[in-house]
Structure 1
């Protein structure tokens, strides 16, 4: 029996995908900002290829998005918007590949970086190569949405890489054809067959040698190294403290109350404190870590005054923020900002 989102290891979902989905919602008349805030997420934090949103919040956002838009095919629409650069280092590595086969091998190896709990199994059957997408947990409302985005996104990826749809490509889907799918069939551009035994992308072996139009050997090496580092880091970040930090990083209002973080992660406040203690961490220490990182970024890259920064970090006034920052770094915020500006000018 597969685990569910609530009790499985939560590796999070890249925030940039929710940002892209929010932009899509805006185009079809949904108040995306209001929806993001109601889920407890910070809209300004989602436009990042680095941050990840907890699986629980991602699931809630997608569920509400489907209901409020009245569009069950949101995953298919999102697939069209997923341009390769949005996939971070993996997108760069895929674009830098020499052939379609190399690009698909990278997708197979590193899919976890972009779609946690999904894995790809490759096999050859006759003149075709099958890339079956499997999920190791029950994603609930996210399941169909994610599989739509991944499989139809791969069709779009092939066209982006080679310059046109890959001839002979076919998508297989488990279960009966959804009532809404007839509206999308023609625009997908490849045959889609429901009622299959698995969810898979099927490509003729003869097409895998198609050249990638963005091929760059040097960039391919560096981006693959980044993918390896990111995959290792993601596995190391699977602890409970990282899950808590993930919620803190993307929360609105900031900082979130302990009770709300506990509720997001489906645990009691007491359990949250105990599990953090077991990892030699504390809720307040995690909040302060995120505050410090945000403070450094705001001081170095914006012209916000200290009162504005203090307010964005949840402090009552600039004086409280200044005391905290000096305690963390040994420098006043003004001294830190001046030092960063001088460093940038001499770089």
Structure 2
């Protein structure tokens, strides 16, 4: 078994190394070479299979493609019979991570699956411990180190988080955007690559190594079964992967951002909340935002109208504010446009709606 981190673009994994972007740092290849050296073996065959020229190992700026990373990881895991590639004090024989995945596949939702993954990972290797916690709206998957991981530390911590995050995305068939990624080591020379490895804000020199994401993803039911797992493990994927196109919580996340704007009484901001500003908050491009909303059967304008309507109805029910103030609080620039929109939503003017709701 190779890396568990999946990609939603099956055809992409077949691309030759010259047809895909080279974004994976050569430092990770050096880590694999070091794992060979620690075992008294030579990596020549693995490098050749991955079409990685040995001289690249001496170029700090060199990058390889995901195809190449998959090839060398596959070869090394089999030759070393170690899916952890030398990270831990004992080897993880071929199939170890597949066994962890099978222990999680029967979980009712992602929260249980990841908790099982963390617990069972500790049974395989006690050099590190994985912890899944939630605080408020944020879920955190963090790593604590029980021993010095030495020269393989960065490669280990990055790979463990990438594999867990990739598996989580695959289990619920959804992109799980990261709100932050933190690493308990100084920024490496190839720190720019982390923008691809971990989409979202990245910090180095942190107190812990962890990734953070919206806790609502933990409630999503698993969408994979044992048959799908067997297929995935037969076509394991590289550490550097494409993002999932689908985000099953995107509509909720956009609605939450818009709702927070209205609830904060920043009425003009709702009207001015462009695709560009929302996309920046969600760490995607405006084009991606529109496309993914469409895939989920929604539009940005439709969600804005939904939030405005909900806010207006709530204020008309609960308060005696003048219609003009309700219009402003719901994000409208003037009372006239609010009345027109409200009538299109409910078939009644705001005043009629308030009167009827109180007479009922």
Larger radius of gyration: 2
Shorter chain as normaliser: what TM range?
0.3 to 0.5
TM-score, with length taken from structure 2: 0.38
TM-score, with length taken from structure 1: 0.40
